[in-house]
């Protein structure tokens, strides 16, 4: 899978450089573009693992039942080098996830967009001890 230069498609006359694949593996092999998901839930676990980290989220369904989802992120090494630690994402934190569900129908999705309740993006902004609960300090 080639990583598209997202957001820079307007560039004209760019010296096109072939970029090596972004993701460890082809996400379109794992996730279904016909099954978009919009999840809102609370963190129950964070697996800081490679090749991709996974956030476990309890999501309350419209009928009131709760389903635990797994959301796939990128390699945690980059985040760890920026100062995040295993304690940076606490249980109970509310998150919103935009992504696509796994082809095999399990409760797994890729986390293309992961934000806090107030819209701030998860893990953006470098070393951030306030990351639990939101960059504005609210928990």
Partner 1 sequence: MVRMRISMRGLLVAVLSAAAVFGQAPAAPAPARAAAPAGYRAPRAYDGHADLSGIWFTTSSANWDLQDHSPQQGPMWELGAIGAEPAGQSVVEGGSIPYLPAAAAKKKQNWTNRRTTDPEAKCYMPGIPRANYMPYPFQIIQSPAGILFVYEYASSNRLVNMGKPMEAGSDTWMGTNNGHWEGETLVIDVTGLNGLAWLDRAGDFSSDEIHVVERFTRVDATHMNYQATIEDPKTFSKPWKINLTLYKRVEKNAQLLEFKCVEFAEELLYGQYKKK
Partner 2 sequence: MKRGAFIFVLGLAAVTAWGQYVAPKTPWGDPDLQGMWPGNMGVPMQRPAAQGTRTELTDAEYAQRVQTAKQQAAADAVDVGAPAAKPGIGPPSYWTERGTPTRRTSLIVDPPDGRLPPLTKVEETLRKEARGGKGFPGEWRGEAAAPEDLNIYYRCITRGLLGSVIPVVYNNGNQILQEPGYVVFRNEMIHESRVIPLDGRPHVSESIRMYLGDSRGHWEGNTLVVETTNFTDQDAIGSNGAGYPGDPGHHSRDLKVIERFTRTGPTSLNYEATVVDPKTWTKPWTILIELKKDDHFQLLEYACHEGNYAIGDILSGARAEEAASKKN
**Rounded-to-5 percentages of helix, strand, coil across the chain:** 10, 35, 55
CA distance to 11, 13, 28, 67, 69, per residue, from 112 (Å): 23, 28, 12, 20, 14
* Near partner 2 by CB under 8 A: residue from 75, 94, 128, 135: 75
Instruction: For residue 77, state whether it binds partner 2 (rule: CB under 8 A).
Output: yes
From partner 1, partner 2, none, which one binds at residue 85 (CB under 5 to 8 Å depending on kind)?
partner 1
Contact pattern from residue 85 through residue 104 relative to partner 1, giving x for each residue in contact according to CB under 8 A and a dash for the rest: xx------------------
Instruction: For residue 3, state whether it binds partner 2 (rule: CB under 8 A).
Output: yes
Instruction: For residue 87, state whether it binds partner 2 (rule: CB under 8 A).
Output: no
d(CA 122, CA 60): 21
* Near partner 1 by CB under 8 A: residue from 30, 48, 56, 133: 48
Torsion from C-alpha of 29, 33, 36, 39, nearest 10 degrees: 20
Sites of contact with partner 1 (CB under 8 A): 48, 76, 80, 84-86
């Amino acid at each position: 899978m080639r990583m598209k230069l997202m957001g820079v498609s307007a560039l004209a006359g760019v010296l096109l450089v072939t970029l090596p694949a972004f993701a460890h593996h082809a996400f379109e092999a794992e996730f279904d573009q016909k099954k978009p998901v919009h999840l809102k839930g609370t963190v129950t676990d964070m697996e800081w693992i490679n090749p991709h980290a996974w956030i476990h989220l309890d999501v309350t369904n419209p009928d009131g039942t709760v389903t635990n989802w797994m959301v796939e992120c990128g390699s945690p090494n980059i985040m760890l080098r920026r100062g995040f630690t295993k304690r940076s994402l606490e249980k109970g934190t509310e998150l919103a996830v935009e992504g696509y569900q796994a082809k095999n129908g399990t409760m797994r999705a890729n986390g293309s967009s992961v934000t806090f309740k107030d819209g701030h993006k998860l893990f953006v902004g470098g070393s951030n001890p306030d990351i639990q609960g939101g960059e504005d300090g609210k928990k």
